Structure 1
Amino acid sequence: MIESLRRPRVLATVTRLLAVALLPAAFLRSPGRGRYLACQWALATRYPAEDLAGLSESARAAFTAARAEAFWRDRQLIGLTSGHRDAAHQHRLFAEEVHRTGSVAAARRRVLPPHESAHVRGTALDVRPSEGAAWLERHGAEYRLYRRYDNEWWHFEYHADTVPMRLPNPDASRPPSMARAAS
Structure 2
Amino acid sequence: MSQHRPAPQAARGPRTVVLALLAAGAAVLALASCLTTPATSSPAAPASTASHEPAAASGARPDHDGGRTDEADGRVPNGTTVFDDELPAVAGLDPALLAALRAAATDAERDGVTFSVTSGWRSPQYQDQLLREAVAQYGSAAEAARWVATADTSSHVSGDAVDLGQTGATEWLSAHGAAYGLCPVYRNEPWHYELRPDAPDDGCPPLYDDPSQDPRLRR
Alignment TM-score, normalising by the size of structure 2: 0.55
Q: Structure 2 regions of 5+ residues with no counterpart? A: 1-77
Identical aligned residues as a percent:
34
Shift, 1:48, TM fit: 4.6
2:175 is matched with which residue? Answer: 138
Q: Is the 8 A contact 2:114 2:167 kept in 1?
A: no
Select the residue among 80, 90, 108 that pairs with 2:117.
80
Give the equivalent residue in structure 2 for 1:121. Answer: 158
Q: Is residue 69 of structure 1 aligned with residue 107 of structure 2? A: yes
**Counterpart position of 1:169:** 210
SS in 1 for 2:97: helix
Select the structure that is richer in helix.
1
Q: 4+ residue runs of structure 1 moved beyond 4 angstroms? A: none
> RMSD of the alignment, in Å?
2.3
* SS of residue matched to 1:91: helix
Mark the runs of 5 or more structure 1 residues left unpaired by the alignment.
1-45
Q: Which of residues 12, 31, 47 is equivalent to 2:79?
A: 47
State the AA in 2 paired with 1:170. P
Q: Larger relative contact order (C-alpha < 8 A, sep ≥ 6)?
A: 1
Q: Is the 8 A contact 2:183 2:195 kept in 1?
A: yes
Return the letter of the residue paired with 1:140: G
Contact in 2 for aligned 1:55/1:84 (Cα 8 Å): yes
Residue 58 of structure 1 aligns with which residue? 96
TM-score by length of 1: 0.65
Aligned CA distance change for structure 1 residues 105 and 174 (closer, same or farther; 3 Å):
farther
Count the aligned residue pairs.
Answer: 131
Amino acid of the residue matched to residue 62 of structure 1?
Answer: A
